Amino acid sequence: MIKLKHILTEAMGDCYQAGGRLIMNFFGDKNHKLVHGMVNGQGALSGKRYGHCWVESRNTVMDHSNGRKLEVPTKVYYALGNIKKNQCKYYTPEQAAKFMTKKKHWGPWEIAGGVVMAEEIPDAKGEIGKKKQRIPNDILDKLND
């Protein structure tokens, strides 16, 4: 039986923390980018889109969230997650460090990142950034553990 806690854990996971820590290994390297984007869920999250974080280096995605060490070609990763570049934000290691310092959390910083129905993703300029959402302290505490 799938429980709501498992669905939320998968959707929230530790991707922002894992991606943030990983990108700091590439400080000064312009070939690596931290990416915050919206992905299609699979399994229990099928039909939903949610915010996710990964690191890209040229043609490779490195997704080290939830204890994985996934490294796959960017085209494959984007196809599997139905990722659209216009729904992603890309950061150099230096830009990521500035956001982490300024916002005092791992992200997302410029997208809402919440779980939505796949057809409800805001994609028009007027729909993006309307609500400013903070990560609740209890979730921030879990990310810092």
Instruction: Kindly list the averaged pLDDT for each block of 10 residues, start to end, along the chain of length 145.
Output: 42 84 94 95 82 95 93 95 94 96 93 72 49 58 58
Round to whole Å and give the CA distance between 23 and 58: 14
Report pLDDT for 109.
Answer: 94
| Other Cβ atoms within 10 Å of 26 Cβ, number | 18
Round to whole Å and give the CA distance between 134 and 114: 11
Q: What is the CA radius of gyration of the chain?
A: 15
Round to whole Å and give the CA distance between 41 and 50: 7
Report pLDDT for 16.
Answer: 94
Q: Is the pTM of this model over 0.85?
A: no
